[in-house]
Structure 1
Amino acid sequence: MANAKMTETQLAEACGVDAKTVGRWITDPNRIPHARHRWATCEALGEEETALWPNAIRTALTSGPDKEDGIEGRFETGHVNLSVFRFDDEMIVTPILARRVGHDSPMMHLRRRQTDGMFDRFSAHVEELWSRGRDIREVGHDAQA
């Protein structure tokens, strides 16, 4: 909030909640706001959701009503700045741009058309990151995972 030069009251107004609610988000690290409020907060502060609520995505994937057993996810604590969704010979890649939130970054739909093309290069990069990452369902992750 300091970087965005916002008060609790200003953030509350931007998110459509009471200032006391924002105060609870700040003082209780285990409190995860509803998705629409997280998105509004990220937009107002210019921050990524994972920076503000690292456990939000893990919680949604492991306990959400639409949890899929066939979906795998990993957290990488190094320099990633990349979201990837792969489906056989297609993938959706969103490189996160510096000083931008995820929804302000480009999204590329890649298809494997040739050996060592852009798809294969991103695929190799993602495999390297995947091998270093930790499963989102592991118990005992630290808050920054």
Structure 2
Amino acid sequence: MANERLREALLRNGLDLDHVARATGVDPKTVERWITKGRIPYPRHRHTIASMVRETENYLWPDAVATERKAEIAESEVVKVYPHRNNIPADLWDRLLNDATEHIEVLSLAALFLVERPTFAKELRTKAENGTRVRLLFGDPTAREAARRSEEEQLGKGTVAARIRNALAFVRPLAEVPGIEVRLHKTTLYNSVFRFDDEMIVNTHVYGFPGAHAPALHLRRLSAGDLFETYSESLETVWAGAKRATF
């Protein structure tokens, strides 16, 4: 069975059989078999190719890594666990934002703690102008899900919707900046996800607690890992079903 994920990843990055053959030190026909017949390369070759196309080994070859090994790698993807999101040092958020050059993605309801930072909008604008892809996903303030979250967190009626509108006011100047997209979703959000290239903060949602008081994971993407990729795919799913924000 052909490996369409590998084929698409190579095409997307402008790579052909010869490029991969030279990088891995194998014959082009071997590379062709990896694609057309779904043959699985040796681990050292998988790592090289994954780096070339900027994908994880687990995405390109889902069956290549044993379940036990995936569990071990997942543990290594966790940089640190914070008992509450508000325990995350401010300088970590600064570093993640400053270091990102390819992807900045936010999936949340409001994320006011982040967007209300005095320099946040300016930093995102500068990042986009330098080629970083910025995608911001906020909850739809008119959706039932926003009202339900106010109830679940034992807040006043309409509190979450008001927070979302405040967040949108902060990012409104970015709506027409090339490279920045803002969308609204109506999902029941189980986690807020903040991605900065190959690092990520996942803020779990706990019934009855506001996000600031819920645990958070600091993850770092590993080539053969599955944990980072799981949250990234979740973000992609929400993004696909969200609508463009209108200001």
**Distance in 2 separating the partners of 1:108 and 1:74:** 24
Shift of 1:55: 1.3
SS of residue in 2 equivalent to 1:100: coil
Identity across matched positions, percent? 28
* Residue correspondences, number: 93
Aligned to 2:231: 122
Match of 1:93 in 2: 202
Q: 1:47 Cα deviation (Å)? A: 2.9
Identify if the C-alpha distance between structure 1 residues 130 and 91 changes in structure 2 by more than 3 Å, giving closer, same or farther.
same
Q: Which residue does 1:58 correspond to in 2? A: 168
User: 1-side partners of 2:162 and 2:190: how far apart?
Assistant: 15
The answer on whether the counterparts of 2:204 and 2:215 sit within 8 Å (CA) in structure 1 is yes
Could you say which structure has the larger radius of gyration?
Answer: 2
- Under a length normalisation based on structure 2, what TM-score does the superposition of the two structures give? 0.32
Taking structure 1 as reference, are residues 123 and 113 closer, same or farther at Cα in structure 2, changes over 3 Å only? same
Provide the rounded CA distance (Å) in 1 between the counterparts of 2:184 and 2:220. Answer: 24
Are positions 1:106 and 2:215 aligned together?
yes
Question: Alignment RMSD, CA only?
Answer: 2.9
1:84 aligns with 2:212: no
The alpha-carbon distance between structure 1 residues 84 and 73, as it changes in their structure 2 partners (threshold 3 A), is farther
Q: Work out whether residues 47 and 100 of structure 1, in 8 Å CA contact, stay in contact via their aligned partners in 2.
A: no
Provide TM-score, normalisation by structure 1: 0.52
- Letter aligned with residue 243 of structure 2: R
For structure 1, list consecutive stretches of 5 or more residues without a partner in the other structure.
1-34, 36-41, 140-145
Deviation >2 Å, runs of 4+: 45-54, 67-75
1:93-130 deviations in Å (ceiling 9; x for gaps):
11221111110111211111143510011111111111
Change (3 A) 1:115 1:94: same
Q: 1:132 to 1:85 in 2, by over 3 A?
A: same
Q: Structure 1 residues 127, 55: closer, same or farther in 2, change over 3 A? A: same
Q: Higher relative contact order at CA 8 Å, sep ≥6: structure 1 or structure 2?
A: 2
- Contact 2:193–2:203, Cα closer than 8 Å, also in 1: yes
